[in-house]
């Protein structure tokens, strides 16, 4: 035992850190298990591969285009008009906002261009196209 008392009037002077470490380890395990679920995109997008490319900064305008043509804005299905409205709202809050577009490699180029046009017509000046590094 960590505490030994002869007369019963002594106090334990050291802190028992074992319960604290146990709680911190449990919290760490919870974060490690839930982080991949949080970071996983809402739709499965098979991104094109490229040898060059820079890391993108997180944005509030995350647009994903699936191979079946479905468009998702921040985890919710959206039309071109909804994307334009959301982009205009974000530009009103932050004029330097960047739109991040993740298009499946099987999506026609024209569809990606139409999404870019919807975003740029709302006033977004910066955009990034997501890729997988080779």
pLDDT tens-digit readout, 17-59: 899 999 999 999 998 888 776 655 555 665 666 656 566 666 7
Domain extent for 63: 49-133
The reply to whether 115 falls in a domain is yes
Q: Is the pLDDT of residue 9 over 70?
A: no
The reply to whether 30 falls in a domain is no
What pTM was estimated for this model as a whole?
Answer: 0.59
Burial 1-23 (b: 16+ CB within 10 A, else e): eeeeeeeeeeeeeeeeeeeeeee
The count of domains in the chain is 1
User: Comparing C-alpha atoms, which of 82, 92, 93, 91 is closest to residue 127?
Assistant: 91
Length of the chain: 134
The reply to whether 3 falls in a domain is no
The reply to whether 18 falls in a domain is no
The reply to whether 36 falls in a domain is no
The reply to whether 78 falls in a domain is yes
Q: Which residues on adjacent β-strands are paired with residue 128?
A: 100
Confidence at residue 96, expressed as pLDDT on a 0 to 100 scale: 86
Which CATH number is 93's domain given?
Answer: 3.30.420.270
The reply to whether 40 falls in a domain is no
Cα separation, 128 vs 55, whole angstroms: 10
């Amino acid at each position: 035992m960590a505490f030994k008392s002869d007369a019963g009037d002594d106090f334990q002077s050291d802190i028992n850190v074992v319960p604290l470490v146990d709680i911190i380890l449990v919290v760490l395990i919870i974060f490690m298990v839930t982080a991949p679920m949080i970071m996983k995109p809402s739709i499965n997008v098979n991104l094109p591969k490229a040898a060059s490319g820079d890391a993108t900064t997180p944005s509030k305008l995350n647009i994903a285009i699936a191979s079946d043509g479905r468009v998702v804005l921040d985890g919710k299905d959206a039309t071109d008009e909804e994307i334009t409205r959301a982009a205009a709202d974000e530009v009103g809050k932050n004029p330097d906002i960047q739109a991040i577009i993740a298009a499946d490699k099987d999506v026609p180029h024209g569809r990606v261009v139409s999404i870019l046009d919807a975003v740029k017509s709302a006033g977004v000046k910066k955009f990034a196209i997501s890729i997988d590094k080779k």
